């Protein structure tokens, strides 16, 4: 079971009113839904009566009603509040309940703590969020293990996501280092297609991709910067272990202008109808196999001890 951190599991927009949504965290099935106050609630996705997934049910009067025999459960504590055909005068035994997990919504993402009581601070809203002209959210499941997904994030981010019109390179600006509990490194980037290098030989690249991998959370932040250190775009990507060696991820991307500041006219034209970012949910095993080992080699030395401490707590 994944404990010791607030896990960002879905964007807020993925959990509409009235409709429960299933998500698997580690091996744990969880159902998310909104109660009568539109607050997100998280319960074990298994009815205590006959083990049917509660996510097959529906939200009625702010409680989650099981699809099979209609028992209803309160989101805040998992208590069964109603059993059809049982007279109100008989009440519902307090032992009829399902595990409930604390939740928190922040900056368009839903966080869950997989234990009855959180023992860590709430995720902070983004400080000094630049006026975002573009904000995108997404989530999915990658068919590679958590450890391999993390290594690909570090060594080949172009296999995880692309910003149309921007090409990441493997020209690193120094070694990865530990800064404020994060493993941080930078590489150069240029205007161009992710898959088609610029035709002219480029020696002066106008962009930087900074990678910040947190030791405290399963989270990595990619910042696209100008060489003057101005932030043009920021991808916050959370990833957690999924079942059967998969990885669940959820992300938010903000961009300071619709067309990245400084983007050449040709690139603007070529990317006119493209989304600001594409986070891939299919990954080519051949590309991953060919990926050279890069900054992931520093993971064990730089932040693995801190990450291990967090998982033990």
Answer yes or no: are the C-beta atoms of 61 and 35 closer than 8 Å: no
- Report the residue number, 49 or 283, with the smaller CB distance to ligand FES: 49
The least CB distance from residue 57 to ligand FES, in Å, is: 8
The least CB distance from residue 25 to ligand FES, in Å, is: 21
The least CB distance from residue 227 to ligand FES, in Å, is: 59
DSSP 300: H
- Report the residue number, 98 or 276, with the smaller CB distance to ligand FES: 98
Answer yes or no: are the C-beta atoms of 255 and 166 closer than 8 Å: no
Binding site residues, ligand FES, CB under 6 A? 47, 49-50, 52, 66, 68-71
The least CB distance from residue 231 to ligand FES, in Å, is: 49
Give CA torsion, residues 69, 43, 56, 282, to 10 deg: -160
The least CB distance from residue 66 to ligand FES, in Å, is: 3
- Report the residue number, 6 or 71, with the smaller CB distance to ligand FES: 71
Length of the chain: 313
User: How many CB atoms are closer than 10 A to CB 148?
Assistant: 16
Answer yes or no: are the C-beta atoms of 78 and 97 closer than 8 Å: yes
* Calpha distance 142→149 (Å, rounded): 8
- Report the residue number, 50 or 280, with the smaller CB distance to ligand FES: 50
- Report the residue number, 70 or 102, with the smaller CB distance to ligand FES: 70
In a 3-state reduction of DSSP, which class is residue 184?
A: strand
- Report the residue number, 71 or 137, with the smaller CB distance to ligand FES: 71
Give CA torsion, residues 170, 176, 179, 181, to 10 deg: 100
Q: Which CA distances in Å does 303 have to 6, 103, 181, 187?
A: 19, 27, 8, 20
The least CB distance from residue 110 to ligand FES, in Å, is: 24
């Amino acid at each position: 079971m994944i404990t010791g951190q607030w896990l960002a599991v879905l964007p807020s927009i993925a959990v509409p009113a009235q409709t429960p949504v299933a998500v698997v965290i580690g091996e744990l099935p969880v159902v998310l839904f909104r109660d009568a106050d539109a607050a997100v609630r998280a319960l074990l996705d298994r009815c205590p009566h006959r083990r049917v997934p509660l996510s097959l049910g529906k939200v009625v009067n702010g409680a989650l009603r099981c699809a099979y025999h209609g028992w209803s459960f309160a989101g805040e504590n998992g208590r069964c509040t109603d059993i059809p055909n049982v007279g109100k005068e008989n009440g519902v035994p307090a032992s009829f309940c399902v595990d409930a997990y604390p939740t928190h919504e922040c900056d368009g993402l839903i966080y869950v703590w997989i234990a009855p009581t959180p023992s860590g601070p709430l995720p902070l809203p983004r400080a000094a969020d630049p006026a975002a002209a573009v904000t995108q959210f997404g989530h999915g499941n990658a068919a590679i293990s958590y450890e391999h997904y993390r290594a690909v994030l570090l060594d080949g981010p172009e296999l995880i996501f692309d910003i149309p019109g921007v090409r990441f390179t493997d020209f690193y600006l120094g070694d990865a280092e530990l800064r404020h509990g994060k493993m941080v490194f930078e590489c150069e980037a240029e205007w161009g297609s992710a898959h088609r290098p610029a035709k002219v030989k480029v020696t002066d690249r106008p962009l930087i991709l900074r990678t910040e991998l947190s030791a405290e959370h399963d989270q990595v932040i990619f910042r696209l910067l100008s060489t003057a250190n101005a932030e043009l775009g920021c991808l916050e990507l959370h990833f957690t272990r999924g079942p059967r060696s998969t990885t669940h991820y959820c992300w938010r991307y903000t961009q300071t202008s619709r067309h990245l500041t400084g983007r050449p006219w040709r690139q603007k034209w070529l990317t006119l109808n493209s989304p600001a970012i594409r986070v891939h949910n299919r990954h080519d095993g051949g590309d991953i196999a060919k990926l050279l080992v890069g900054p992931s080699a520093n993971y064990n030395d730089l932040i693995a001890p801190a990450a291990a401490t967090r998982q033990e707590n």
